[in-house]
């Protein structure tokens, strides 16, 4: 697939801004500020590409940052984890828009982790997997209807699933299992 002028421009913008961040890191600037700024840069690129490809979906679909990217902590070479939150299953035209958008992200050189879900699917996945719950807890709206995003947050909130005490007990078990898997040695990660 041929890259569009916009994806080439976005690729160049990411590269230039990445070099600037690297220089500032080597000059001793705060890492915390730099990883937040990197998330802001990627936000701008995603918004631009989403607006280019979304068409009619833009008013109905929420583009959401999740995981570390949702926390606005994006380190160099980290995956950019996103979710497209839909009010209902997409039709064929919607699937085409979503596919074109994801391909454009690869074209600009981003390592993307993505999901496409409805609020009901977020709830279902969260009930089944604590990792998904954690990812959605760290979610942040980039573009799209705030009401849809708030519906998702409310549907997976601790008053609906994973009450705080149970959540923290399960997260502790998850941490113990991870440490055991790596012989309780941080350097094996």
Q: How far apart are CA 108 and CA 103, in angstroms?
A: 9
Residue 164 has pLDDT above 80, yes or no: no
Q: What is the mean pLDDT of residues 135-140?
A: 89
What is the mean pLDDT of the segment spanning 106-131? 90
pLDDT value of residue 8: 55
Query: In this predicted model, what pLDDT tens digit does every residue of 9-67 receive, in sequence order?
Result: 787 888 888 888 888 888 888 888 888 999 999 999 999 999 999 888 889 999 999 98
Q: Is pLDDT at 187 greater than 90 in this prediction?
A: no
DSSP string, the chain: -PPPHHHHHHHHHHHHHHHHHHHHHHTT--HHHHHHHHHHHHHHHHHHHHHHH-GGGGGT-EEEE-HHHHTT---TT--EEEEEEESS---HHHHHHHHHHHHHHHHTT--EEEEEEEHHHHHHHHHH-HHHHHHHHT-EEEES-HHHHHHHHHHTSTTTSS-HHHHHHHHHHHHHHHHHHTTT-GGG-
- Domains of the chain listed by start with CATH number: 5-120+137-145 (3.30.460.10)
For residue 160, is pLDDT > 80?
Answer: no
- Tell me the C-alpha distance between 95 and 58, whole Å: 13
Segment 105-116 mean pLDDT = 92
Q: How confident is the model at residue 188 (pLDDT cuts 50, 70, 90)?
A: low
Contact indicator for 45, 108 with CB cutoff of 8 Å: yes
Task: State if pTM tops 0.85.
Answer: no
Nearest 5°: CA angle at 57, between 156 and 122? Answer: 15
How far CA 77 is from CA of 34, 74, 97, 112, in Å, comes to 13, 8, 26, 11
**Residue 105 class from Cβ within 10 Å (0-12 exposed, 13-18 middle, 19+ buried)?**
buried
Residue 110 CA to residue 175 CA, distance in Å, equals 29
Flag whether pLDDT at 134 surpasses 90: no
Q: Would you call 173 exposed, middle or buried from its count of C-beta atoms within 10 A (0-12, 13-18, 19+)?
A: exposed
Query: What confidence score (pLDDT) does residue 1 get?
Result: 43
> Residue 14 has what pLDDT?
82
Taking only the tens place, the pLDDT of each residue in 89-110 is 989 999 999 999 999 999 988 9
């Amino acid at each position: 697939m041929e890259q569009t002028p916009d994806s080439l421009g976005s690729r160049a913008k990411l590269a230039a801004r990445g070099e600037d961040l690297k220089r500032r890191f080597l000059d001793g600037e705060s890492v915390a500020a730099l990883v937040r700024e990197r998330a802001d840069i990627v936000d701008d690129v995603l918004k631009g590409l989403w607006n280019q490809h979304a068409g009619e979906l833009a008013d109905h679909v929420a583009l959401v940052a999740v995981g570390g990217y949702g926390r606005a902590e994006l380190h160099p070479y980290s995956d950019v984890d996103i979710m497209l939150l839909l009010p209902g299953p997409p039709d064929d035209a919607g699937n085409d828009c979503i596919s074109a958008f994801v391909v454009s992200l690869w074209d600009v050189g981003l390592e993307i982790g993505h999901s496409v879900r409805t609020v009901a699917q977020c709830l279902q996945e969260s009930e089944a997997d604590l990792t998904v719950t954690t990812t959605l807890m760290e979610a942040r709206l980039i573009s799209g209807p705030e009401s849809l995003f708030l519906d998702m947050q409310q549907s997976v909130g601790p008053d609906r699933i994973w009450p705080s005490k149970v959540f923290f007990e399960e997260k502790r078990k998850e941490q113990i299992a991870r440490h055991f898997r790596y012989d309780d040695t941080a350097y094996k990660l």
